[in-house]
């Protein structure tokens, strides 16, 4: 069985580690430190989750630190890693790239979302370029809104915390934005199948293919009105963001996705 190295120490990486045989979680820094040993392996799979933390996105104190975490460390790994040892690369991108591709660069970059998405897109192309030059299978996973066990960042978790602890949660644009929410266990199942399937290189949406509005989530949770703070300021965002997962499902077979309704009703 091929060893799988998972770059990035967040929730997805650690959940993958629990479910994938012969897998190890590495920070990008530690991977670079051990790269000479890794280059001696016969074959490896590489899952790259390493990126600047979304939880810290609202405030970027250092552009050089942001750049290092977002793309420079990945570039350095690709420079130093022996391409002959790589069986397959999975890169965890984000549905946010669709926002960065809409050419509305003149709009205000609220919460640094556009720069985050643009760097994700740049990392996608960097990996694609490297893999095509070295004849390596690559799967770019454009991950939609993930939630689930050990989640401490998603809007789903924030809404649950607001209800459980009687806290307030801030909502923009009247909560009308529609998003595709996918449970972390379903993401792990998809990654497992990608590793085991002879799937074509390319870009794939990772989501359920169904959307629900933020205000819809609030209603399902029966949150009190006093727990919701509606900001009058309009922020720039895509009104609907739903995965087109038909191509992916065709390759890895149908998945019975967990529903956000069932999760919220637990």
Among candidates 19, 17, 50, which has minimal Cα distance to 32?
50
Both structure tokens of 122: 């740049």
Q: For the whole model, what pTM was predicted?
A: 0.92
Range of the domain at 36: 3-264
In 3-state terms the chain splits into helix, strand, coil percentages (rounded to 5) of 45, 20, 35
Q: CA–CA separation, 104 vs 100, rounded Å?
A: 8
Digit-by-digit pLDDT tens for the chain (266 residues) are: 799 999 999 999 999 999 999 999 999 999 999 999 999 999 999 999 999 888 888 889 899 999 999 999 999 999 999 999 999 999 999 998 987 666 556 667 767 888 899 999 999 999 999 999 999 999 999 999 999 988 877 888 888 888 888 888 887 777 788 999 999 999 999 999 999 999 999 999 999 999 999 888 888 888 777 778 777 666 667 778 899 999 999 999 889 999 888 888 76
DSSP class of residue 230 equals E
Q: Give phi and psi for 86, each to the nearest 5.
A: -90, 125
CATH of the domain at 113: 3.40.50.720
Q: What's the total number of domains in the chain? A: 1
């Amino acid at each position: 069985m091929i060893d799988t190295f998972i770059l990035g120490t967040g929730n997805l990486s650690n959940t993958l580690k629990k479910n994938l045989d012969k897998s190890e979680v590495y920070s990008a820094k530690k991977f670079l430190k051990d790269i000479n040993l890794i280059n001696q392996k016969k074959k490896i799979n590489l899952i790259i989750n390493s990126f600047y933390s979304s939880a810290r996105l609202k405030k970027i104190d250092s552009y050089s630190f942001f750049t290092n975490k977002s793309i420079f460390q990945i570039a350095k790994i690709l420079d130093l890693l022996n391409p002959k040892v790589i069986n397959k690369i999975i890169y965890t991108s984000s549905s946010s790239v669709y926002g960065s591709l809409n050419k509305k660069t003149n709009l205000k970059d609220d919460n640094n979302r556009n720069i985050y998405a643009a760097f994700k897109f740049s990392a996608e192309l960097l990996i694609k370029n490297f893999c095509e030059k070295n004849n390596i299978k690559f799967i770019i996973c454009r991950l939609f809104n993930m939630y689930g066990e050990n989640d401490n960042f998603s809007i789903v978790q924030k809404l649950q915390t607001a209800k459980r602890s009687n806290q307030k949660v801030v909502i923009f644009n009247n909560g009308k934005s529609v998003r595709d929410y996918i449970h972390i266990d379903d993401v792990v199942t998809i990654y497992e199948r990608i590793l085991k399937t002879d799937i074509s290189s390319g870009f794939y949406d990772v989501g359920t293919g169904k959307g629900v509005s933020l205000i819809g989530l609030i209603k399902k949770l029966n949150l009190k009105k006093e727990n919701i703070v509606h900001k009058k300021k309009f922020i720039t965002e895509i009104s609907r963001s739903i995965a087109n997962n038909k191509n992916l499902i065709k390759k890895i077979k149908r998945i019975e996705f967990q529903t956000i309704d069932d999760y919220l009703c637990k």
